[in-house]
Amino acid sequence: MNNLQVLAIGLGLAGHYALVAVGFALIFATLRIFHIAHGTVFITAGYVFFLLHRAQGIGLLPSGVFAVAVAALLGLAIDKAVYLPILRRGGGMFSVFIASLGVSLIFEAGFLAYTKGVVSVARTGMLDILTAGSVTVRSLDLAVLAIVAMVYGLLYLWLHRTKVGLEVRGLTDNGPLAAVVGVNVDRTRTHIFLLASALAGVAGVLTAYDMGIGPDTGTRTLFVAVVAVILGGMRNLLLGAIIGSVALGILTAYAGFYFPEWLTFSVFITMILLILVRPQGLFG
């Protein structure tokens, strides 16, 4: 294994993070909701995909599409059933954050009881491998990166070419003002949760297919995505999320290769130092 190989692995990881991070950033920047349960949405899609594809033998694509749909609806349901009632009763950011933690605890407990903690992998058979010089790249990683590029491209068009996208950007800049000038916050909110959760669902399906999942995979992935978002900053949603994800992918790949026992430490020390030095993110 040489440095370039580790870098290639890091970019592969970055693809997974980027899909989770951009949805989290979208929700946090527009609605000020620290959506820990975004990790739950992500992992639920993974489990649904696993159940359909591996356990029931249903095809790759229909299982994946169904899992993404479940994720999108789950994210919306969490907002409607948990976050909105809290906000309506005068709760604030902390209350929503704590309740979000509660949601992820419940789902994690469910998966724990269901799988007894066993990691499940959906992928069967070997993956195609491409070799370029001393670096080998898995075709799946290239597919993930292609999906990420496509998703980010579509998100860019959505944010900058549609009316809802304009409203989303308005909310990011100044929520109360956006509402005053006639942004339909409720409808925009629904769009945001559906879209962000669907993207988490795509990431969940890919992760379940590629690396396997366990009950705590969701929370772990989410925290890495959170650090990525903090790193990239939220002034420019897409740019911040992708830069943060790439940086975190490379960081975790190198840390995991050279000193795996300090992997978590390096991620969260980075987060704490970053919050202390530049809470607005490196590019905020």
Partner 1 sequence: MEHLLYIGSLMCVWIIVSVAVNLVIGYGGMMTMGHAAYLGIGAYTAASLNIFLGLDFFSAMAAAAVAGAAVAALTLLPLLRLSGFYFALATLGLNFVFFDLFHNLAPRVEGSEGLHGLKLPAALASADTRFVTTLLITVACILAARHLVGSPFGRLLRATRDRPEAVASVGKNPTACQITIWTVSGALTGLAGALYAATLFYIDPTLFTLNASILMMVYVGVGGLASIAGSILGPVLLIGFTESLRFVGLPSQFLGPAQQGLYGALLIGLMIFRRQGLVGKHDFRE
Which residues of this protein are in contact with partner 1, per CB under 8 A?
34, 82, 85-86, 89, 91-99, 101-106, 108-110, 112-113, 116, 223, 261-265, 267-269, 271-272, 275-276, 279
DSSP of 124-176, one letter per residue? Answer: -SPPPEEEETTEEEEHHHHHHHHHHHHHHHHHHHHHHHSHHHHHHHHHHH-HH
Using DSSP's 3-state secondary structure scheme, residue 120 falls into: strand
Comparing CB distances to partner 1, the nearer of 66 and 83 is 83
Which of left, alpha, beta for 138 (phi over 0: left; psi -120 to 50: alpha)? beta
Cβ-contact 148, 15 below 8 angstroms: yes
Q: What minimum distance in Å lies between the beta carbon of 270 and partner 1?
A: 9
Q: How far is the CB of 195 from partner 1 (least distance, A)?
A: 24
Report how far residue 252's alpha carbon sits from residue 6's, in angstroms, rounded to the nearest whole number.
10
**Between 74 and 148, whose beta carbon lies closer to partner 1?**
74
- Smallest separation (angstroms) from partner 1 to the CB of 125: 32
Q: Closest distance between partner 1 and the C-beta of residue 20, in Å? A: 17
What is the rounded distance in angstroms from the CA atom of residue 243 to the CA atom of residue 240? 5
- Pick 32 or 187: Cβ nearer partner 1: 32
Q: Which is nearer to partner 1, 31 or 103 (CB)?
A: 103
Rounded to the nearest angstrom, the gap between the alpha carbon of residue 135 and the centroid of all alpha carbons in its chain is 27
Closer to partner 1 by Cβ: residue 68 or 274: 274
Least Cβ distance, residue 100 to partner 1 (angstroms):
9
CA angle centred on 37, ends 82 and 90, rounded to 5°? 35
Please, which residues bridge with residue 135 across strands?
132
Of 166, 175, 206, 164, nearest to 60 by C-alpha is 206
For residue 105, the minimal CB distance to partner 1 (Å) is: 3
Q: How far is the CB of 263 from partner 1 (least distance, A)?
A: 8
User: How many Cβ atoms are within 10 Å of 90's Cβ, its own excluded?
Assistant: 7
Cβ nearer to partner 1, comparing 86 with 159: 86
Give the nearest distance from C-beta 16 to partner 1 in angstroms.
19
DSSP structure string for 1-35: --HHHHHHHHHHHHHHHHHHHHHHHHHHHHH----
Tell me whether residue 86 or residue 166 sits nearer to partner 1 (CB atom): 86
If the CB atoms of residues 130 and 273 are measured against partner 1, the closer one turns out to be 273
Please work out, in degrees rounded to the nearest 5, the angle formed at the alpha carbon of residue 27 by the alpha carbons of 26 and 29.
65
